[in-house]
Amino acid sequence: MQMFTADTFISRLNNLRSDEELRKIQRYFKSGEGDYVQGDSFMGVRMGLVFDLAKEFIPMSLDEIEKLLESQWHEARAGAVSIMDFQARDKKTGLERRKELYELYLRRHDRINNWDLVDRSAQFVVGQYLFDKPKDKLYELATSANIWERRTAITATAYFLRKKQSEETFIIAELLLNDKEDLIHKAAGGWILHAGGQKLIAFLDKFAATMPRTMLRYAIEKLDKLKREYYLNLGKKK
């Protein structure tokens, strides 16, 4: 009988470890491309395998998920947020469970402490839960001193975009205009680009001259060449 425990999950991860994968990870982050926080520990398991394993552990209880979040290993925490995401996406998951997942995410945000962990789970665990509720929590997260909470705020709005509602994405992006972190600039620019349409153009017309350069570049990526050059030139004037 399958044991859906944190210990079993980590034991299975151990069987998937690869020295070559660990070297790839170390090279990637040594170059600075990964943008991970210092001190993160890796086992050397390819993320695709982590996600596949998480699918097997979808029935895991909240207590065991929290134990996974407490692991020193990045792959274990990636497994934890993946299980949370799979549970939140499941149409059979009831409202009470979605609330519990949302509350666990926020309560243990100290362990959801890298961009990929946020991006893997914020949309459905946080965004889906808040879709038909007041958005005050997102504004609170957007002004948090914690970079990962701020990233959660903008990434959670991706669920609203799936439902053709872009207002919150632009509100949160505006709150993040003065953020000092490049990882926030990338996320905010990427999601307003995804929102697109006339709201994107209106946002750029208002803020392109003063918004962070990285956010601007991400936001205009799919515009035609003339529009990209126009907004980039506005950005040079700040």
The stretches in the chain having pLDDT less than 70 are 1-2, 29-39, 235-238
What is the Cα–Cα distance from 191 to 142, expressed in whole angstroms? Answer: 14
Tokens of 61: 């209880």
Question: pTM to 2 decimals?
Answer: 0.93
Residue 31 confidence (pLDDT):
46
The predicted pLDDT at position 8 comes to 97
Phi, psi at 41, each rounded to 5°: -110, 135
pLDDT number for residue 27: 81
